Every structure is written in structure tokens, then in C-alpha cells.
Chain A
């Protein structure tokens, strides 16, 4: 049976021996899955209540440390009137009902989980609670309005009666909703907005949490792969005579992306793989970081496309006597999740099971269906915990490989990439080059021109961009995702991954020119925590700081005056400045820097305090962060995500970069791709703005702000302006 919830959604109920399943179907959610049959919706719902009164929440987002399992369970528990601690959770299979309502494909990313679930999940939970109340009222023959629910139980106070949800399943399944679902207001919340212990943490302190790499199945084989080290190169031949002498090796063969060793254990597979002698074609061995830089310079001189234009920035800049131009550079960055890419597949005659820590159940489902020729209903994606995601686990490459390997065997096979393969075959955060100019007139920003030179992620990801270059297995669901990202019209010019954070300049100016010069050297690129913002905020916020100094203004006050009509920017900027003690004295050699940025509908300002020693040694001592993410679901999770985002952004600012030599990535492991360590972690203070706005995601928005806050602090401490990341000691000597 289905009940109309709103113009765009239905509630679906189905009663079975194991309980009552409640789900919601959003109109249009199945558009990207034309082959999927309607019946499957019924069995895959969000809420299952069993006769023992156990409430199970089938969570349609991936838990990669961002606390979403708990935050979503909080939304559900609040409106369903159950204790958060009593909610059991399961990760959802791949199915159209679980499509991200913003992306229209089942993906966890873009800091959208809370935003896309906030109304839907609460509405479904509230409607479910109402059904149970109605069912109890009917059983007692009492007015519905006199009954209420608490702790998975319906009560009638006057008659002192109560009944468990679990005892109302059959009755509730027959109910229909004749009143509108009314959601609680913030002052009625018992759970939302209060710090709640994360549901996943106990299993993560005793070693029992299962990540993809931990999947252990009967008769399972283990595989590893060697990819061509040089981008664009292909397999010529391989000699596996030495590799085959390793005990336990079952088979060695090529798949389109590399050479695979399958053995009884991963250790044997890895040992054998290291003995392979492989000949590859030359590939793009002429690509080097230096040659990329030369091409950037060429593109900075040539033509570019205008992506945002108003007034007449060009002429004003030409004529201004008070103008400043600077060049900024950012490198490729690896995701470097602590858990290397891995996936386990058991392919049988009429069924395929895939165990994987993934952010992209939808695209993976499509890819596996295409590869195996099975029906959607025969492909089962089992989502595990993710040992880090950051965008890397939104890709399907390693899942495709695992299926191609499993096609050789009747038993399950687990593919694990070695760390070297993971580091050298990532989809990197794009490197980019920026030429930026502004004209000042007393205190105002008269004109602003920013030319961005870099590659387009969407051109790789979205089939609509360049159909000819599209791999055969590329999921069709990505089309709708691409359309969402680009606002419906897919073209190079509006690829937000290149221009986000630059195009929508918050600072007031009447003359603006944002230009794009697309240049792709052929290094694989992808979504990296905060995507284009991670680069553009560094450029914009550093350059604004340069302008403040040029205007001989305090960088905080200079920003205030240019953000007059941006109340939420001002809110976080003022809070961060106040809490940091902006303007107070610091010892010699120390400095304070400020930055503010809006991304993913969220506003973040940070003040960093650094110390620069004469030998170039830098320490980031303290970071004060103010965040306006709308209504707060789990305050401690917001704080944790900000702390983590600062560590992630700081790693890219002061520690690591991916560089290219002779067509291959130079770094291969943590000895040469350095991540922030505990002794380098600043003390972080996080302040939340009390906001009535709808909640936004918080996984990404604090990442882009730290690099400019730190580099501006370095300028304050040492008069050295950083225009290239990562910051090296030699830049500070």
C-alpha cells in the first residue's frame, strides 16, 4: 500500500513475517534506473519494525567517518519517537529508492547527506509514528488526539494504557494517513541539536568494525594488481615465471587496466606480483611537473573563456594606478585514504555479490550490471565501513577490476591494491594555475579578474561531456549526477569543479571577469574533499589578503567592508576574529591570518596562528574556526568534522603534493607523500553559529579555509607571501 505524503513523495508500507517495512518513494527517483522493477521498492525501506519492537534503520548513505550513520539515525529517532541508542542500523543495498535526492543517483558526497535527507527522513519517521498512534487509538477506541508516542510505544495517559509499536504492526499496515504530516519545530527537539555519542565508535575501538578489506568468506581467494606506471601506457607482455614459483599462486592474467595475481592469500599475491616482469608501452612519458608548468604559462597568455563577467574589469585594470597582479599554483593531491582500495566479488551463474566500502552504490551497481550482463535485481552491493573516502571511494575503477577478476573464478575473490598502487593510481585533485588581478580605489575593490587554468573533472566523469571518450562501463546514473552538478546544461564552461569558489566572488565589486582556460595534461583527476573550493579559496583568500596589505588595511577589517551585504559571511568572520583575540599582540616570529569561505551552502571562517623560525621551520599553533552550517544535528560531529577538515587541508598546505616525472607519479607511499602527524596538529577551537537555516553538510566546508588562513598568518609573521602550495621550509628561509 502507498500513502501520499506530499506532492512529491509516497510512503510505502509492507508487512511480512519479519516486520513492517516503511519506506518512501520520491517521484523521479527511479528515472535514472529505467530497468528496475517497481516491486523491489517494497522490500527495501528505511525503517523496519519487528514484532519484538526492534527498530532497524536501513541507512542509505555511506559511513566514512563523517558520522552520518548517527546523524541520520538522530533525524529518524526524533520523529519516530524512539531512543537513539535503541536504533539498529544496516547499510542499504543499491536500489533506486536510496538515490541521493539531489544527485538522483545513490552516492554519498558533496556534503549533501544531511541536506538531502533532512526533510524526507523526518517526514517518513513522523508519518510512521502517526500510523502507530492511529493504530493504537483504533485498538483502544479512543481519539487519536489523546494518544502520543514515546520510546517506541504509544500511550494514552488518561486511561493509563500503552502498547509497543511491535504489537501494532498488522494494524498499522492497514492504516492510512488522513492528516498532513507535521514535523516538530526546533524547540520540540529532544535529540536533534544535542551532542550524541556516535553509533559506530564502539566497534571502532575494539577492532570489530568491518571495513571492505576485512571481508572474509569461505573459499575466498586474494588478488592484487600491477597497473602501468606511466599514464596512458598499456601492456605489451609480461613474464610471470618467477611469480608463479610463489606458493599459493592460483593464476596470473591481464585485465584491461593491468596484470593481476590471484593467490590463496594477499601476502602470496603481493609477493608474486613484485616478481612480475612486465613490458608496457611508452605512454605519456613526456609529461613532467615542469612541462605542465610551462603549458600553464602558455595558457595564461592565450585565449580563455569567460565564465562570469560584469562591468568592465579589463579596461579598469589596464588604466588603474593601484592594481595588483599575482600568480598562484596548486599541485595534484592524492586522497591517500588509510585503507587502500579493495573490493570483494563473488560472481555466480545468476547472482553477483559485491562487498565494498563505497561512496557510490548506484554507479557501482550499474557498472556491475553492465559488466556481468546480470539483471539489477541479481547484483547485490554490500556496503562496509569505509577506511576513509574523501571522494576516492566515489569512483568505480577498483570495483570494475574486482568483477573482471572474479569472472575467472567460481569462488569469491578479494582484490586489494598495495599502497604503491593506491598512491600512483588515484584520481587526483587537479593541479591548477591562477592569474589574478585587482584594482583598488581607496577602500573599495574597483575591479577583479581571475583566470583559472586547469583540467575539468566533469569532462572525465560525465558521459555528456565527451561521449566518444566514455568507457563502456561508465554508469548511466552519472549522467543525472553530471546534470545536477552543472545545473542541467553540461558544458566545459560551467564545470563547477574548476570554478567553484572563484566564480561567485563574495567580495563586492562592480567589475568582474572570471575566465577559464581548460588544460588537461592527462593525469587522472577526480573529486577530492571540497573539490574546486580547495584550490580557489586559497587563491581568492590569499589575494584578498594581499590587497588588504596593499591598501594598508587590517585584513579582517578590509574583508568586513567588502562583505557588507553578506550577513552569513560576516557572522562567521566576526565570531572567528572575536574568539581568536584578533588584533592582540603575539610574540616576535608569530603571526595571525584570517580567511573566510562559503562552500556547500555552509560558511566558515578561520584564524590561524603560526610561528616561523629563521631556518624555515613552520609550526601552526592554533586555529580558531567559526562555522555556520544552518541547524546543527549532532554538534560534536560538526566539531569533529571541522577538526578533521583542518588536518586534511593543512596536510595539503604544508606537507604533501603529487608530482609527475616521465609520465608517472613520483610518490609511492607515506615516506614520500607525507601526511600531517600528531606533533604538527594545531590546537583547534570550533564555534558554531546558532542558525535557523536548514542544515547543510559539514564534511568539506572547513577544508578550503585553512590553507589561506595559514599562508596569511605566515605573511603576518614573516612578510613572506605564499603563492604556491605546499609550503616548503625553503619558501620561509
Chain B
């Protein structure tokens, strides 16, 4: 049994220690927003935050996240959309949508660390998350916009 804290709620899961966090989220907790893309940490579709840091859930054993807060796409919006989600909608970013939870989670980590990223910062932070539909230009615009919205929210 492992205790995982996902989006502020603690869950007891009965799985092997080597079970990747991704499959705990998807199969045990039925949180299917984090996606399986490659299984080898090379596409980023499974990205979640563990203790505020981006983690590739497909290669993160559940035993390594015990007691650490995990944030998934389902944990982003409260009563209203998170500024990143707002910016994503404003810029009509997703196409098929499959990679977008990963894109949004990585953006959250980026903006938390660097509220006003340059294009080069965005390239560096987002280089690992593949979008086969090619929504990259819109992701870039939406990240700049989300930064603005987050700064506005902080000021008000």
C-alpha cells in the first residue's frame, strides 16, 4: 500500500512499488487527463508536478512520490479555469488535444519559476513535449498570454 497525495487529496493504492505514477493515476484513481504517449519519458504527454517540479509520470515509480504532493491537469482549475487554461482557450491552442495536459503542466512549472519567459526560455522549457498536431506557435503565444494573466491576477 502506498499513500499518494493527488490534487490535495490523499489516496491509499494497492500496487507494486515499481508501478509508474501514470498508471496509478489512470487505472487506480481514474484520473485519465495525464496521457500515455511513449512510456520512456520522451514525449511529455504524461507530465505531472511532483512537489512543484515537472515529472514524467510514465517513468516515475509510485514508491518515489509517497508523501509528496502531485498535481495533475484535473487539479488545475478551481471554480474557474486557471489562467493557463484561459490563455489556451483564448488562443484556441489544442487540435487533437492528446498532448495538451502535458503542455499545460509544463507551462505551469515554467511560469512558476519564470513568470515572464522569453521565447528562448519557452523553447528550453517546452522542448521535451511533443505535439504531433503542430500547435507549437499557439502554445508559445498562450504561454506569453498566461504569464500576463498570472501577473495580473497576482497584482489584483
Query: Residues on A close to B: CB < 8 A?
Result: 64-67, 197-198, 200-211, 213-214, 216, 222, 247, 265-267, 270, 336-340, 385-390, 416, 418-419, 636, 640, 643-648, 669-671, 675-679, 681, 683-684
Contacts and interface: CB of A to CB of B under 8 A. Distances in A.
Interface in B24-68: 26-27, 30-40, 42-43, 45
Contact of B134 (A67, A416, A646, A670): A646
Contact of A338 (B20, B43, B85): B43
Interface residues of B, number: 58
A205 B39 contact: no
A214 B33 CA distance: 8
Nearest to A210: B32
A634 to B, nearest CB: 10
Given A205-B88, A206-B74, A675-B132, A247 B16 contact: yes
14 contacts: A65-B97, A66-B95, A197-B89, A205-B81, A206-B81, A207-B32, A207-B74, A247-B16, A337-B98, A339-B96, A386-B96, A643-B135, A644-B135, A677-B130
A678 B139 contact: yes
Contact of A267 (B27, B96, B126): B27
B133 A65 contact: yes
Contacts of B139: 678
Q: Which of A67, A210, A265, A386 counts the most B-chain CB atoms under 10 A from its CB?
A: A265
B108 interface: no
B137 A204 contact: no
Interface of B: 16, 19-20, 23, 26-27, 30-40, 42-43, 45, 72-74, 76-77, 81, 85, 88-89, 92-101, 104, 122-124, 126-140
A647 B96 contact: no
B31 to A, nearest CB: 7
A65 B101 contact: no
A207 B73 contact: yes
Interface of A is mostly: loop
Contact of B96 (A203, A213, A388, A419): A388
B85 A205 contact: yes
Nearest to A220: B27
A418 B40 CA distance: 11
A64 B97 CA distance: 8
Contact of B136 (A265, A636, A681): A681
Given A205-B81, A338-B99, A677 B127 contact: yes
A678 B139 CA distance: 9
B132 to A, nearest CB: 5
Name the 8 nearest CB pairs between A and B, nearest first. A207-B33, A647-B134, A65-B95, A204-B97, A387-B98, A65-B96, A207-B73, A681-B136
Nearest to A213: B36
Given A207-B101, A387-B35, A419-B39, 9 more contacts: A65-B94, A201-B89, A201-B92, A205-B93, A206-B77, A338-B99, A339-B96, A643-B137, A669-B40
Contacts of B130: 338, 670, 675, 677
Q: Which of A201, A210, A386, A645 counts the most B-chain CB atoms under 10 A from its CB?
A: A201
Nearest to B96: A65
A385 B96 contact: yes
Contacts of A386: 96
Contacts of B19: 267
Contacts of B138: 640, 643
A418 B94 contact: no
B103 to A, nearest CB: 9
Contacts of A677: 127-128, 130, 136
A67 B93 CA distance: 11
Contacts of B85: 205-206
Nearest to B77: A206
A222 B23 CA distance: 12
Contacts of B134: 643-648, 676, 681
A339 to B, nearest CB: 5
B89 A207 contact: no
Given A648-B134, A678-B122, A679-B127, A202 B39 contact: no
A707 to B, nearest CB: 14
A205 B35 contact: no
A644 B92 CA distance: 13
Contact of A385 (B30, B34, B97, B132): B97
Contact of A216 (B30, B37, B89): B30
Contacts of A197: 89, 92
Contacts of B126: 678
Given A206-B73, A388-B132, A338 B137 contact: no
A387 B92 contact: no
A201 B39 CA distance: 26
Contacts of B99: 338
Given A338-B99, A676-B134, A265 B27 contact: yes
A220 B121 CA distance: 43
A387 B137 contact: no
Contacts of B32: 207, 210, 213-214, 216
A570 B80 CA distance: 48
Contacts of B36: 213, 266, 340, 416
Q: Which of B19, B23, B36, B39 counts the most A-chain CB atoms under 10 A from its CB?
A: B36
Contacts of B137: 643, 681, 683-684
Q: Which of A222, A266, A678, A679 counts the most B-chain CB atoms under 10 A from its CB?
A: A678
Contact of B97 (A200, A213, A681): A200
A670 B97 CA distance: 18
Contacts of B127: 677-679
A317 to B, nearest CB: 40
A221 to B, nearest CB: 11
